[in-house]
Chains A and B, each alone.
Chain A
């Protein structure tokens, strides 16, 4: 795009920022409706138990209790994409299982009522290890699972197999081969606003309004309708301001239809808010997994093959965590050039909690394993860790083994940039002595940048309304979850139509109003909603051009849109006047248009081959750490990030995504872990599940790479997930560089680091004494 951009590429503050910074923004927790009841959920006392009886008599006798539901009381369908998840449970299969739900006139009464429900359990020994679950003699954990028929094992919930190239041949021609088993922990989103929903059912017309913090309102509407056996069109989803998403709100969970059912049964609005402990216990997690990865390289350092077997703990029910292999197989098949790849992943039912989607969608795990192995390959070949990556870097025009087509590719420029900026080559060779040891690590990533054709449509609709006074409503299918997509959309409209930002409103929270969109995921919103908006703007300009030509009595054709004016040569007219003349002149029409954009990406075939995204994002990070060998504490000092974003749309918004992603990546690497013992969560609070705070933040140096990919709006690519994907891998590489110790698990907690360091010192001592 050659034209001068005066809005795109310049930092703009958040469109609705004033509401958020002043406490005026209405989040789900802030909604209060007349006669609203408050709901609470009774969860299982045991991770695995048969429920012999539930007695609600006492609870129902409590003044203020309006309704109690158990599995016996409701006629609903099972939920989840595998339909293996009952909304209310007849038996307990994990600690978060919903046994009963109460609606009462106050939060206090609802809480009190929970204590009065008497449940008689017969505890059963749970199965918490996926390998144990796969044994022939183990019992079937989820009775709705189809594993026996589909995958030959009753406890397999989901299975993927992908391959390209000639594995055997590539194995033979490898000079070095590295095999490792990596175990990645269970971590969770920690949205600052806990899960919430307010359901309002009208017995008058049978319509259900849900104030729901979802990232995927249209899929949610369909899923809710399925669960409740209702007509989807009777369900209206209104998204309040969302206090953090990060993938956690990509699926519908039992508490949501439960709250709707309580509203349907009572005919009153019902609100259900999680406390923080419940949020830890009962909201989705990142998919935990055990990765067996074998990687090879030839004498020149070219990667020959990757063979990977992944075992995922699916938990008791199936949510999106089980589908993370869709993303992971792209990374194994196509991050760096790889001649052959054989990928198998299985999700195994256990009595643990289920995993959902989480920013990065499996990619941090996959990238961690690949980039750890890459360092080991480099060591064995005597190559620099920078060299081996540059030799194998992806390149523009590459069509990978899986069929991903990198029409533009900033992989090599991003790598080169962080290697230089971090002084990687020198620092990686430096040896330190004393208490504090420094190290530097490198990692890259590949992710979809132009949506992902996973669902039947990856599209987004836009309706544009220019009013009589020159103000523009962008009614978009896409959703704002704090990431700043509204601001980018307003910037695009301002850029193209010459309407000032303050005259633009974004309407995006109501399924009764907005056109269809698949939702916020896969770093797709700016790309898909941006392209959809540009399509609508083209249509609107055709209308305006036609009318402007008529009004200014000049030739038809294109005009310039600037400062609220439509102009050509010396003639100009105010845009609001054109809109008014359109309405009141002849032929009478409104300045409203609608456009639907569907990316040109293709579906994968049955062998998972296909070019699923409009474009692809690449990034590299170099991280410098300092390890305190007395305490085991790892301090991240500097993070150098270079990312192919296609084009920078809103520099400040982009930088915020980068810094936020890196921070979550550091937490994944160093401090965060949900500790489960026999199905019980041991640390359901911020006291014991440690998030980073302001004092922990390193300096983050960001270098965007602009490859101007023609598929994206102004050449841009999706950017939201990428910054956290390589961070943990780069940190682990840096800590290995500092200590000369290999770590196969995350997080690199002080205890783990100190233990490994002490063992190393003891071994060195023993070796020196034996000599």
Chain B
């Protein structure tokens, strides 16, 4: 066995995983290539577009800028983790569809996860975000199809109805 490999253990989408990885491995490559979770999208691999967003301990990060060794002991949520047999779509995803926020869809999964993290942050602070704050929360995502309006509408609809 290659002695450069570093052992890490983490939880991804509720499942415990142990792996030996190269210290240079980037999180997106671990997720897409090794774990075969293809919903995390490689848009730019330079931290600008947000398509590869995943949640690490509940916070949204660009998985293309995050070293995989740093997830040791942490909880990862990817888009696949939002779906269950009982509930195939999360309410944020329902809102995205209802508002027409999806065109080509390459940016969508990252946006869904950012919105989930932001929703939880708001809940913790006990606040309902303004539309301006919703826009601000989406600033790290690029979309070339929609012009963002429907994405903002969908996120706002979800974030201002905190019961769901």
A contacts, CB < 8 Å to B: 11, 13-14, 17-27, 29-30, 189-194, 241-246, 273, 275-276, 481-484, 652-653, 655-656, 658-664, 685-687, 691-695, 697, 700
Query: Which of B79, B100, B142 is within 8 Å of A693, CB to CB?
Result: B142
Q: Which of B68-76, B105-113, B117-125 contacts A (4 or more CB under 8 A)?
A: B105-113
Q: Which residues of B contact A275 (CB under 8 A)?
A: 45
B147/A484 in contact, CB under 8 A: no
How many Å lie between the Cα of A19 and that of B44 in the bound state?
22
B contacts, CB < 8 Å to A: 37-46, 48-49, 51, 78-80, 82-83, 88-89, 93, 96-100, 102-109, 112, 135-136, 138-152
> Within the complex, what minimum Cβ distance (angstroms) separates B74 from chain A?
20
* Number of interchain pairs (Cβ within 8 Å): 174
How many Å lie between the Cα of A664 and that of B146 in the bound state?
9
B148/A483 in contact, CB under 8 A: no
Q: Which residues of A contact B144 (CB under 8 A)?
A: 189-192, 244, 246, 660, 664, 691
Query: Which of B40, B48, B80, B106 is within 8 Å of A686, CB to CB?
Result: B48
B146/A659 in contact, CB under 8 A: yes
Measured CB to CB, the nearest residue on chain B to A23 is B39
Measured CB to CB, the nearest residue on chain B to A699 is B149
How many Å lie between the Cα of A483 and that of B44 in the bound state?
22
Q: Is chain B's interface secondary structure helix, strand, loop, or mixed overall?
A: loop
B39/A22 in contact, CB under 8 A: yes
> Within the complex, what minimum Cβ distance (angstroms) separates B33 from chain A?
9
A276/B142 in contact, CB under 8 A: no
B139/A686 in contact, CB under 8 A: no
Q: Knowing A192-B143, A481-B104, A686-B49 are in contact, say whether A663-B148 is a contact too (CB < 8 A).
A: yes
Q: Which residues of B contact A653 (CB under 8 A)?
A: 100
Measured CB to CB, the nearest residue on chain A to B64 is A276
Given contacts A694-B141, A697-B152, 8 further A-B contacts (CB under 8 A): A27-B41, A192-B142, A192-B143, A192-B144, A276-B49, A482-B145, A659-B147, A697-B135
Q: Which residues of A contact B107 (CB under 8 A)?
A: 192
B138/A20 in contact, CB under 8 A: no
Measured CB to CB, the nearest residue on chain B to A653 is B100
Measured CB to CB, the nearest residue on chain B to A359 is B144
B104/A695 in contact, CB under 8 A: no
> Within the complex, what minimum Cβ distance (angstroms) separates A54 from chain B?
28
How many Å lie between the Cα of A481 and that of B152 in the bound state?
22
Q: Which residues of B contact A194 (CB under 8 A)?
A: 42-43
> Within the complex, what minimum Cβ distance (angstroms) separates B34 from chain A?
12
What are 22 residue pairs bridging A and B, where the CB atoms are less than 8 Å apart in the complex? A18-B88, A18-B89, A20-B102, A21-B89, A21-B102, A22-B39, A22-B93, A23-B79, A192-B144, A243-B106, A246-B144, A276-B43, A484-B103, A656-B147, A659-B146, A660-B145, A685-B44, A692-B148, A693-B141, A693-B148, A694-B151, A695-B139
Q: Which residues of B contact A483 (CB under 8 A)?
A: 103
Q: Knowing A13-B98, A662-B147 are in contact, say whether A695-B103 is a contact too (CB < 8 A).
A: no
